[in-house]
A and B are shown apart, each in its own frame.
Chain A
């Protein structure tokens, strides 16, 4: 499995040879460094820990500095683990950049969606709401929340207003359109979660599937 960390740069469109406009997301990915290898013997599971975005030593606290010193790498802003079946293919201190990916292959992209704060039921759950005019006094409320004296309660999990967004979301099976190792850019077809500048985890697709309309 190939994986890398990156940040969302933004979206644009490119044209294919037939003139179809393809929506694409540009991701600034890597280089990442293997900071730690986790094995079943020592940690109970196997994973590799990747570090992304170097930062000056004064920005990390002493326990973290020790962690980086032990691996013999520069301090990093982001540390993320990726579960792998076998860690033997990875070396501590090894660098991974976007050139591991090739155009045409399929990846899963994980990110954190834009936080929307305390959102109403219309935005959060797509409820219809009521008429805006013609004497209506019922505009954006969620309507009935349950029955009467039986069961005399609102069922747990009832879709209501509340905190929305800022959750971890994975978009599966995005096609890699372009790889630019010179600038460390990865271009994938379609959208990815989160705001521009948001952290993204990119890995080979877990269950590769060709999306509709693609040969």
Chain B
């Protein structure tokens, strides 16, 4: 019985339509809604997409950036979550793998070719 399309019918209402095409290796800017006590503000998180997972409403991306002090920080963000207010692709990267987990082991500067 193929009833999966009914699940998609339910998901459809919650899906965002303004998400740009994102691929592993791209550098993206995430505008995240952060709650501090009862104050809300937008936090910007810029980094490299090292993995994309899931489909439909449950699609998530893993974004890695090197924070001050050379500490790697990764955020896993559900693309369709209302917490993610906006997403911008800063640079398109050309990579040959779907998951860029090897970047975690690179000490120096990460070089990714630009895709056009």
Q: Describe A's contact surface by its main secondary structure.
A: strand
How many residue pairs link A and B with beta carbons under 8 A? The number is: 58
On chain B, the residues within 8 Å of A197 by CB distance are 1, 3
- Note all chain B residues with C-beta closer than 8 A to A7: 3
Name A197's closest neighbour in chain B (CB-CB). B1
Q: Mark contacts of B1-13 with chain A using CB atoms, 8 A cut-off: 1 yes-contact digit, 0 otherwise.
A: 1011011011100
CA distance A178 to B10 in the complex (A): 9
Contact indicator A183/B9 (Cβ below 8 Å): yes
Q: Pick the contact of A28 from B3, B56, B78, B82 — CB < 8 Å?
A: B3
Select one of B1, B4, B9 contacting A185, CB under 8 A. B9
For the complex, give the distance between the alpha carbons of A196 and B7 in Å: 11
Does A41 touch B at the CB level, under 8 Å? Answer: no
Known: A12-B58, A18-B82. 17 other contacts (CB 8 A): A9-B3, A9-B4, A9-B7, A10-B3, A10-B6, A11-B7, A12-B56, A14-B10, A15-B14, A15-B78, A15-B82, A19-B81, A21-B78, A24-B10, A26-B10, A185-B10, A196-B3
Residues of chain A within 8 A of B3, CB atoms compared: 7, 9-10, 28, 196-197
Give the residues from 1 to 52 in chain A that come closer than 8 angstroms, CB to CB, to chain B: 7, 9-15, 17-19, 21, 24, 26, 28
Q: How far is the CA of A92 from the CA of B14 in the complex (A)?
A: 39
* A180 sits at the interface (CB 8 A): yes
| Docked CA distance A19–B56 (Å) | 16
Contact in complex: B7, A14 (CB < 8 Å): no
Given contacts A19-B82, A19-B83, contact A12 B10 (CB under 8 A): yes
Q: Which residues of B contact A17 (CB under 8 A)?
A: 82
In the complex, residue of chain A having the shortest beta-carbon distance to the beta carbon of B84: A19
When distances are taken between beta carbons in the complex, the residues of chain B under 8 Å from A205 are none
Q: How far, in Å, is B89 (CB) from chain A's closest CB?
A: 22
Nearest B residue (CB) for A10? B7
Flag if A28 contacts B81 (CB, 8 Å).
no
Tell me if B81 and A21 are in contact (CB < 8 A): yes
Q: How far is the CB of A29 from chain B (nearest CB, A)?
A: 11
Contacts of B57 in A (CB 8 A): 12-15
Specify the chain A residue showing the minimal Cβ separation from B32.
A19
Residues of B within 8 A of A76 (CB): none
Is residue B29 contacting chain A, with contact meaning CB distance below 8 A? no
Judged by a CB distance under 8 angstroms, whether B33 is at the interface is yes
Of all chain B residues, which has the CB nearest A11? B7
- Would you list 28 pairs from A and B whose C-beta atoms are within 8 A, ordered by A residue? A7-B3, A9-B7, A10-B6, A10-B7, A11-B7, A12-B11, A13-B58, A14-B10, A14-B11, A15-B57, A15-B81, A15-B82, A17-B82, A18-B35, A19-B33, A19-B81, A19-B83, A26-B6, A28-B3, A183-B6, A183-B9, A185-B6, A185-B9, A185-B10, A187-B10, A196-B1, A196-B3, A197-B1
